[in-house]
Amino acid sequence: MSLTGTPLFVTAVVLTVIAVVLPLAVWSKVRGPAAVRVATRALMVVFAQVTAIAVVFIALNRDMNFYASWGDLFGTGKYVTAAPDLGPDGLGGKKASEVKAEPKVKQAFQPVEGLGGRVQKTELDGKVSGVKGDVMVWLPPQYDDPAFKDKKFPVVELIPGIPGTGKSWFQGLKAHEVLEPLMKSGKVQPFILVSPRAMLLGNADTGCANLPGKVNADSWFSVDVRKMVTDNFRVSDEARTWGVAGYSAGAYCAAKLAIAHPDRYSAAVSLSGYNDPGQEPSSLVAQDPQLRTTHNLKNVLKAAPTPPAVALWMSGAEQDGYLSGMDLKGLAKAPTVVHAEKVVGGHNLESWSKQLPQTFGWLSSVVKAP
């Protein structure tokens, strides 16, 4: 029974109703020694509490899509098939031109339940990263317009927080619903939105890092997913046509990917992000003091051979993204550009969804159409 499916939700509701009605019907009719009566009534109370919690969790998860499956919830999903040392550029000894020249791999896509036909999903076997997981793609309304049949489109890669799935951007933040009318009116340019699986090792946060022997999350996002998109859609692989956006732990990832790979991304949006990966309790990177230091975004920026030609938008409340943005802004040297925006709102999907018109309007000015 699917964790996000209707049958489980209906079952939980029915059990909750039973848990409420049962004590009303039999409370005074329980027989036996005092200890038995107390234990029976206590079990009915516990049953009512458990079912109430379960129905709230299932309903919230169906709405926000924190966990897409039982494997995600219990951390038993298997998405890493190999994790070799791929080197500092994450290409495993290959040149970027060699990866680009490899034969195109056409993917099969299916509509995603509950999100309308324009959101599609495919299972991607990442040949470089050794990650095998789902990737969701939304095409802008202009993509199938005959007037745009020869046009290539810019891309924004969307990274969810932890917990979270690719579906979180569409079902939780409702990114496509917010942005589609803005794209139709010309206020936001027509981006292809791509949201890959981010939970690759149970409930742990990979920090979008390549960790030999564990996971090559960086190469999954910045190499395999990018190639899949260029193989299957009308896009360019030029960095100037690619942006990346994330919220919470995904915000940290988005900023890091852009800073580390200006040859792959030209801009990043960080919604309630942070610089120190240790701010995410489940971070694999933060478990090692040296890795925690080297993967701090301030140190990633300072360690770049030359200032990366990327633009960063970092927004959030004062202690929830804004000050981190100000820290990076203070370190940035041209051509790196950092915009820090203080916003009112909590660390939640509703707040991040409200920022989409402004942040994608900004992306429209810095990410170029092919």
- Residues in the chain with pLDDT values less than 50: none
What is this structure's pTM? 0.87
pLDDT at site 32 = 81
pLDDT at site 321 = 97
94 near 86, Cβ under 8 Å? Answer: no
Helix axis angle, 356-366 relative to 175-185, nearest 10°? 50
**Nearest Cα to 256, choosing from 239, 273, 272?**
273
Put the strands of the sheet holding 267-271 in their side by side order: 110-111, 119-125, 132-138, 192-196, 155-159, 242-247, 267-271, 311-316, 337-342
